Structure 1
Amino acid sequence: MPKITAGSVREQREQRLGQLIAAAEAILAEDGVAALTAGAVARRAGLARNSIYRYFSSIDELVELIVTREFPAWIEAVTRAVEAQSDPVARAVAYVVANLDQAAKGTHGGRVALARGALSASGLDRVRELHTSLAGLLDGIVSELDTGQPRLVQAVLQSLVDACVRRIDAGDEHPAVLAYARRATTALLQTS
């Protein structure tokens, strides 16, 4: 039985989980997906190889956690920003801006690359599910707007978010991308 060094078994488990995630992320950053093995992660975390299986059933499960763990906070931040506005146009602008703010402060680009190269089918399903919850939020915003083409407006707004997030991931300056996105969103909604 491993010795408990934290205040409780739960704290110990959280610490170990954090060590394993940090070790996996360091391996990914330094050596890429091919170097991510149970042995390498355990070694990097300073644990026995079999210890990793107390936390994850497979490396795929660890990769899925790494890819998806920022999503709940991202969704919550976007939801808060939208709910802080009462005007439908301001809510749409808040949706766009909050998504870009999250992309700028997170590790979105690296997680996208990881998802494309190493995520299992169940992991990809989980990512789609999380994106769908954001799409549902945008759907609600667009339904509040007086537009003759709600599906088209929703598609264009989401395309704007996606394009701007890609530019942020590519290294474009967040303030410049944000200013463009605000103008584009406002212009779109004034003409629709």
Structure 2
Amino acid sequence: MPKISAPSVADHRAQQRRALIAAARGLLEEGDASRVTFAAVAQRTGLARNSVYKYFTDRRELLAEVVREAAPRWTERIEQEMSTAAGPQERVAAYVRAQLLLVRDGEHRIAQALADDPDAAVLREAAAEAHDRILAPLVAALTELGDDAPRRTARLLQGFVNAATLALESGDDFDALCSRAVELTVASLGSLKD
């Protein structure tokens, strides 16, 4: 029986699974989703390639798990930024800033790497779940502002973030871009009072 490096077999399996997900994430952060193969992931974790199949049935399942596990990091950072804001309008501004900080700091590389991957269509479900979790604090702030359609508004405001993300990825100045995206977002909130 192989040695385990955890208190129980279940803990060992969870530890190995997390290591495989981290290895896949690392490969994605390097910018090329095609490099995420069971062989490459196994090599990074020190496992045999066939051992990866004990944890994931195929590459799509592994990639979907990478996407799912990324969402809590985004949400935590967004909620942390929003928690220091004085009111709902300031929380919306913090939401925009937090996401752009995440992009600036490289957290968006996974999405970039996966964009053109042949398995991207399969990953849409995992990405949709992740986006719903990311939008939740924005929806809450919009509800507090009295928005009668907060989920719709949140998706539209996310459009500012998406456009700013593309601009950042094209080399635009972070400070100027972030400031403008926040200004536009906050200005748009005035229409909720009409």
Which TM-score band applies after superposition, normalised by the shorter structure? 0.7 to 0.9
Distance 1:115-1:146 versus aligned 2 partners, 3 A rule: same
Distance across 2 between alignment mates of 1:29 and 1:106: 8
* Contact residue 33 and residue 113 of structure 2 kept, 8 A: no
> 1:4: which partner in 2?
4
Gaps of 5+ in 1: none
Distance 1:87-1:119 versus aligned 2 partners, 3 A rule: same
Distance across 2 between alignment mates of 1:31 and 1:143: 37
* Contact residue 64 and residue 120 of structure 1 kept, 8 A: no
* Contact residue 29 and residue 109 of structure 2 kept, 8 A: no
> 1:20: which partner in 2?
20
* Contact residue 42 and residue 49 of structure 1 kept, 8 A: yes
* Contact residue 157 and residue 185 of structure 1 kept, 8 A: yes
> 1:52: which partner in 2?
52
* Contact residue 64 and residue 119 of structure 1 kept, 8 A: no
Distance 1:17-1:159 versus aligned 2 partners, 3 A rule: same
> 2:85: which partner in 1?
85
Distance 1:75-1:104 versus aligned 2 partners, 3 A rule: same
> 1:63: which partner in 2?
63
Gaps of 5+ in 2: none
User: Which residue identity does 2:82 align to in structure 1?
Assistant: V
> 1:131: which partner in 2?
131
Q: CA RMSD in A?
A: 3.3
The reply on whether 1:181 has 2:178 as its aligned counterpart is no
User: Which residue identity does 2:166 align to in structure 1?
Assistant: R
Distance across 2 between alignment mates of 1:29 and 1:184: 30
Q: Which moved more, 1:19-28 or 1:100-109?
A: 19-28
* Contact residue 28 and residue 113 of structure 2 kept, 8 A: no
Cα shift at 1:42: 2.0
* Contact residue 81 and residue 94 of structure 2 kept, 8 A: yes
User: Which residue identity does 1:177 align to in structure 2?
Assistant: L
Count of aligned positions: 192
Distance across 2 between alignment mates of 1:6 and 1:18: 13
> 1:160: which partner in 2?
160
